[in-house]
A and B are shown apart, each in its own frame.
Chain A
């Protein structure tokens, strides 16, 4: 089955950020296709490369990044939600005249249309949120 996954909560604050990652892993292991993972609301914080949790804790952003590399996943951060919360890729930072970017490898920033298109193209849309 072909899935689009929506992640609406930030890492560490909400279990749903972990659950989304675990669902994607499990779906891939069963041979399903992940058409797209779309990060919205505080979920955009799953794509920062500047998180430094304690050594004995998981690093969710890196786990997404590694999984994306391994399975060629399309991880999309909503630009409107990202701009509110200070998530920037290099192009966007330049456009906004900011001095830094903070997106981890494997994520890209794009618009809400990517979510709608994903749901149209996929058999199922799964939302992970509060």
Chain B
């Protein structure tokens, strides 16, 4: 089967609507298809990978740990829009340190998060074959 570049565009906060959780479910299924998968976090979507999520008071499952498992599925391109962070008073330090292990480099741990400018994000998106927008 042909390999395509799949981009998952995440634009919404992790709780409040189900888009983030169900987006992650598609990402995990897609991993079995051995495609070239990337994720983008734009607008309130940057909150999906914020540190220290706690859902105790709202009766929702805290699924944030799942993002740390993406590396095990060879999903290690998580593009985060710099301006979206800045507009929300966030920096890279407010995000979970999501890592992957590079088997070609003695299983060295490397960061999956790539902070890109809005202009760079446009180029990243233009370079994809398939976009799923959540």
Residues of A bordering B, CB below 8 Å: 6, 8, 40-41, 80-81, 84, 111-113, 115-117, 119-120, 125, 127, 129-130
A-B contact count (CB 8 A): 45
Q: How far is the CA of A81 from the CA of B26 in the complex (A)?
A: 11
Q: Is residue B134 within 8 Å, beta carbon to beta carbon, of the partner chain?
A: yes
Contacts of B134 in A (CB 8 A): 8, 129
Contacts of A81 in B (CB 8 A): 22
One of B28-36, B85-93, B97-105 contacting the partner: B28-36
30 A-B contacts, Cβ less than 8 Å apart? A8-B134, A40-B22, A40-B26, A41-B18, A41-B19, A41-B22, A80-B25, A111-B29, A112-B26, A112-B29, A112-B30, A113-B33, A115-B26, A116-B6, A116-B29, A116-B30, A117-B33, A119-B4, A119-B6, A120-B1, A120-B2, A120-B4, A120-B35, A125-B130, A125-B131, A125-B132, A127-B132, A127-B133, A129-B133, A130-B19
The main secondary structure of chain B at its interface with chain A is mixed
> Which B-chain residue is minimally distant from A112 (CB atoms)?
B29
Q: How far is the CA of A63 from the CA of B131 in the complex (A)?
A: 27
Q: Judging by beta carbons under 8 Å apart, are A113 and B32 in contact?
A: yes
Q: Judging by beta carbons under 8 Å apart, are B35 and A127 in contact?
A: no
Contacts of A129 in B (CB 8 A): 133-134
Q: How far is the CA of A6 from the CA of B35 in the complex (A)?
A: 18
Contacts of B25 in A (CB 8 A): 80, 112
> Which A-chain residue is minimally distant from B22 (CB atoms)?
A41
Contacts of A119 in B (CB 8 A): 4, 6, 130, 132
